[in-house]
């Protein structure tokens, strides 16, 4: 469970007021009862001792089947085994705090409200939307107030973050421009003992009762709740959609590694990528992504860091204690910071998780176990990068194409149809093994990535993956494909657009999309008909993209990609280079490689990134040690035009053939342009003589 710091109250402020009783001047300490004194209940007990020392509360009774240790309570505090016993006593608590297992929240909360006490209920409120509605009805009928224990919602940072989300600067922090999306990242470690601490730990249900004890609904629930609050999503109806992608590495029922992707009714994307299988625990955070910068909120520390081109600014805010806030709500009419009614959007998420298919098991071959016995904990290799990719691209694990994730439900298929006699191929004969190329239509991509079709993964004949997509350094880099940053003012590349007038990359909300109109697949040749749609939806270009594969040797195959662009209207095809960014003329054919060790990039006449970048040569080669082993890619230049090579090696690995290197290409309506690229994909490291032999036979 999250364990935020408990601080003294400063000045209460917060969300819109919930129904409140008529305030009455307080002349005596508030009478408080606590149900559940262990686990997170121990934090409440510590806080109540603090408030009691201030004369603000009197802890009149506690209830727990496992009584507290001797000396843990004031001598006047009654101890009961159950809530029923506590309510039967002559204690008359004004407020009852419930900090018990999730599956007990609903019945205990209803009993508290029936007793006419006000309620502080730990998160998550309850384990189903049905119980949430029952609880709301009971609170209204009883005229009682209910505070939900999302402690992060007491942070004073929320007011500043809401200003930033509205495009404003604050007294402490600079603005981040227009809000594009929100993400939350949680990387914690939980060992086997964590799931053995109780019968309900890690359960989806217990004895037929919903529990829903997953990473997003219990230990890192604050990440979800905080992101929703900043987005202004309080009611269930404030969310237009909720997608879940749930997994587990541990031997439990519930999820321990998941992506929860939401979209508000205003179209704002919110993506939460969470795991309990990290390399090490770090403080979770919520990120606001703006057109001019980001704001990162470490909600357990009330710390906000704003990063813009100009500077990095950090400010640590104060926090209001939710118990004190509830007491001031009752005595002064102060707005509740985490009222039950504002948990509707969170409950919409919990309900989506509860009703989703059971979490998929991550196979052991994709896990590393650290430690032994009950202290052992699972680590998903590269999980930090995986979570960053998910949040930056607003993509699920399935959409990232991770080897341990479920296959994407739609939008991807083998580029080539299986050969009619493929079933009769002999096992292990490399001449009969067809290399893999997956065609993705890009339809599910976030708008800011300029959704478009591309190939990923592409492999060697030996199975080495030689493409990457949605990389955290440039999430709009999409495998192998064809894209342009500027066609008549629409961005078909993704990310920001470079403009000469600004002298830099700017966020223009100008993203177009390339849609698949039709695709025809054969065992060695496939063709896709594509429509290039401007940011306003208008049709700018029609494209026919053809793919052909040839098996050259037992370790080498060739992929030929030909694109024919036909202008539907007069079209100007541009790049950052044509807009004045020297050396950045990318656009056209582009191949994003995965990380690889000992990379070497060279042509027949030059070696290294500085020498080959911008050069015009018949071929360009890349060799490196990839995850699956050594491999070589040889790119054959288009025969139609002497386009310069665009090469990146030191910052990130990529190769492109620049269609508009330093000047735009003009096409009149009805005019067509063709480019053909050949890529030889080989296991092992090829030298120049072998490469020359391949290229000469093209």
* CATH number of the domain bearing residue 245: 3.30.360.10
Contact 628, 462 (CB under 8 A): yes
Q: Which two tokens stand for residue 640?
A: 């139609």
pLDDT in tens, 496-530: 999 999 999 999 999 999 999 999 999 999 999 99
Q: Are residues 211 and 71 in the same domain?
A: no
Which element (helix H / strand E) includes 579? none
Tell me the β-bridge partners of 478.
469
Range of the domain at 60: 30-153
Residue 7 lies in a domain: no
Lowest-pLDDT choice from 78-82, 128-132, 176-180, 430-434: 430-434
Spatial distance between the Cα atoms of 521 and 691, rounded to a whole number of angstroms: 29
**557-577: average pLDDT:** 99
**112-132 burial, b for 16+ CB within 10 Å, e for fewer?**
bbebebbbbbbbbbbbbbebb
Residue 111 has pLDDT above 60, yes or no: yes
* Same domain as 169, residue 127: no
Residue ending a domain, among 153, 186, 205, is 153
- 3-state SS record for 109-148: HHHHHHCCCEEEEECCCCCCHHHHHHHHHHHHHHCCCEEE
| Per-residue confidence (pLDDT) for residue 428, from 0 to 100 | 45
pLDDT > 70 fraction of the chain, expressed in percent and rounded:
94
User: Residues 195, 201: contact at Cβ < 8 Å?
Assistant: yes
Q: Give yes or no for a contact between 254 and 204, defined as CB atoms under 8 angstroms apart.
A: yes
How buried is residue 420: exposed, middle or buried, by Cβ count under 10 Å (0-12/13-18/19+)? exposed
The verdict on 371 and 462 lying in the same domain is: no
Overall average pLDDT of the 461-484 stretch: 98
pLDDT (0 to 100) of residue 434: 66
Q: Is residue 343 domain-shared with residue 357, that is, in the same domain?
A: yes
Domain assignment of residue 128, yes or no: yes
> Which residues, 6 or more positions from 428, have their beta carbon under 8 angstroms from its beta carbon?
none
Give residue 409's pLDDT band: very low, low, confident or very high (50, 70, 90).
confident
Name the pLDDT band for 23 (thresholds 50, 70, 90).
Answer: low
Rg of the Cα trace of the chain? 29
Between 593 and 423, residue with greater pLDDT? 593
**Would you state the structure tokens that stand for residue 31, as one six-digit string?**
């009478």
213 lies in a domain?
A: yes
Residue 321 CA to residue 337 CA, distance in Å, equals: 9
**Residue 435: what pLDDT?**
78
Residue 422 has pLDDT above 70, yes or no: no
User: Is 625 within the bounds of a domain?
Assistant: yes
Asked if residue 538 is part of any domain, the answer here is yes
Q: Is residue 278 part of a domain?
A: yes
Q: How many domains does the chain have?
A: 3
Phi/psi for 591 (5° steps) reads -130, 110
* Alpha helices (H) in 356-442, listed in sequence order: 383-393, 397-400
pLDDT > 90 in the chain, percent = 93
Q: Is 24 a domain residue? A: no
CATH number at residue 39: 3.40.50.720
Of 22-31, 37-46, 610-619, minimum mean pLDDT range: 22-31
If asked whether residues 516 and 608 sit together in one domain, one would say yes
Give dist(CA 13, CA 661) in Å, integer.
55
The verdict on residue 14 lying in a domain is no
176, 95: one domain: no
Q: What are phi and psi of 369, to 5 degrees?
A: -105, 130
State the pTM of this model. 0.93
Q: Where a domain ends, among 108, 134, 153?
A: 153
278 and 342 part of one domain? yes
Q: Are residues 78 and 91 in the same domain?
A: yes
Q: Are residues 224 and 120 in the same domain?
A: no
For residues 473-489, average pLDDT = 99
pLDDT for the residue 3: 34
Query: Are 269 and 247 within one domain?
Result: yes
Both 101 and 168 in a single domain? no
- Tell me if 146 sits within 8 A of 97, measured CB to CB: no
The pLDDT of residue 623 is above 90:
yes
Element (H, E) at 329: helix 322-332
Is the domain of 98 the same as that of 161? no
What is residue 226's three-state secondary structure?
helix
Place of tokens 């594009």: 180
Whole-number pLDDT of residue 5: 30
């Amino acid at each position: 469970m999250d364990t935020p710091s408990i601080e003294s109250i400063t000045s209460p402020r917060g969300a819109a007021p919930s129904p409140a009783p008529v305030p009455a001047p307080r002349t005596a300490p508030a009478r408080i009862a606590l149900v559940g004194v262990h686990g997170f209940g121990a934090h409440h007990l510590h806080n109540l001792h603090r408030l009691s020392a201030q004369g603000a509360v009197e802890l009149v009774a506690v209830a727990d089947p496992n009584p507290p240790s001797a000396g843990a309570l004031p001598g006047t505090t009654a101890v009961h085994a159950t809530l029923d016993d506590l309510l039967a006593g002559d204690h008359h608590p004004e407020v009852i705090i419930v900090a018990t297992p999730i599956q007990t929240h609903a019945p205990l909360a209803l009993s508290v409200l029936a007793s006419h006490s006000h309620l502080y209920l730990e998160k998550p409120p309850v384990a189903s939307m049905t119980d949430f509605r029952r609880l709301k009805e009971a609170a209204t009928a009883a005229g009682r107030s209910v505070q939900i224990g999302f402690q992060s919602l007491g942070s004073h940072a929320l007011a500043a973050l809401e200003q930033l989300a509205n495009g404003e600067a604050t007294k402490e922090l600079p603005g981040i421009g227009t809000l594009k999306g929100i993400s939350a990242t949680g990387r914690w470690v939980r060992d086997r003992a964590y799931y053995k601490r109780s019968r309900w730990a890690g359960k989806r249900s217990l004895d037929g009762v919903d529990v829903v004890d997953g990473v997003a609904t219990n230990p890192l629930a604050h990440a979800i709740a905080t992101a929703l609050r900043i987005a202004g999503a309080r009611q269930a109806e404030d969310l237009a959609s909720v997608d879940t992608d749930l997994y587990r590495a541990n031997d439990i029922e519930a999820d321990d590694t998941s992506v929860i992707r939401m979209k508000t009714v205003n179209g704002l994307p919110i993506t939460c990528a969470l795991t309990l299988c990290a390399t090490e625990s770090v403080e979770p955070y919520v990120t606001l992504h703006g057109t001019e910068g980001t704001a990162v909120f470490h909600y357990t520390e009330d710390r906000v860091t704003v990063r813009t081109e100009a500077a990095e600014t950090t400010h640590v805010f104060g926090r209001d204690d939710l118990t004190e806030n509830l007491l001031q709500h009752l005595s002064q009419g102060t707005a509740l910071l985490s009222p039950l009614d504002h948990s509707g959007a969170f409950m919409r998420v919990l309900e989506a998780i509860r009703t989703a298919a059971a979490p998929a098991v991550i196979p052991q071959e994709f896990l590393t176990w650290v430690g032994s016995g009950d202290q052992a904990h699972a680590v998903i290799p590269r999980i930090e990068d995986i979570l960053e990719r998910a949040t930056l691209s607003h993509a699920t694990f399935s959409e990232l194409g991770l080897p341990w994730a479920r296959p994407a439900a739609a939008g991807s298929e083998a580029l080539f149809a299986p050969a009619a006699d493929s079933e009769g191929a002999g096992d292990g004969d490399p001449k009969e093994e067809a290399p893999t190329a997956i065609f993705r239509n890009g339809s599910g991509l976030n708008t800011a990535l300029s959704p478009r079709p591309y190939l990923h993964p592409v492999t060697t004949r030996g199975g080495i993956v030689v493409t990457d997509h949605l990389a955290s350094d440039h999430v709009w880099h999409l495998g192998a494909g064809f894209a342009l940053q500027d066609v008549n003012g629409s961005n078909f590349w993704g990310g920001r657009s470079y403009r000469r007038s600004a002298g830099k990359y700017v966020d223009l909300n100008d993203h177009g999309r390339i849609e698949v109109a039709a695709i025809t697949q054969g065992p060695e040749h496939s063709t896709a008909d594509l429509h290039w749609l401007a940011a306003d939806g208008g049709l700018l270009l029609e494209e026919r993209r053809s793919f052909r594969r040839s098996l050259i040797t037992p370790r080498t195959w060739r992929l030929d990609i030909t694109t024919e662009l036909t202008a539907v209207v007069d079209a100007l095809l541009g790049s950052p280079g044509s807009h004045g960014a020297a050396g950045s003329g990318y656009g056209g054919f582009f191949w994003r490689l995965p990380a690889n060790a000992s990379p070497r990039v060279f042509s027949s006449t030059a070696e290294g990134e500085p020498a080959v970048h911008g050069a015009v040569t018949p071929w360009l080669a890349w060799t490196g040690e990839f995850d699956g082993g050594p491999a070589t890619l040889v790119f054959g230049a288009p025969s139609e035009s002497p386009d310069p090579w665009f090469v990146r090696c030191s910052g990130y690995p990529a190769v492109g053939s620049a269609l508009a290197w330093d000047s735009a290409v003009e096409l009149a309506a009805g005019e067509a342009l063709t480019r053909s690229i050949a890529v030889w994909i080989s296991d092992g490291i090829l030298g120049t003589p072998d490469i020359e032999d391949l290229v000469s036979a093209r």
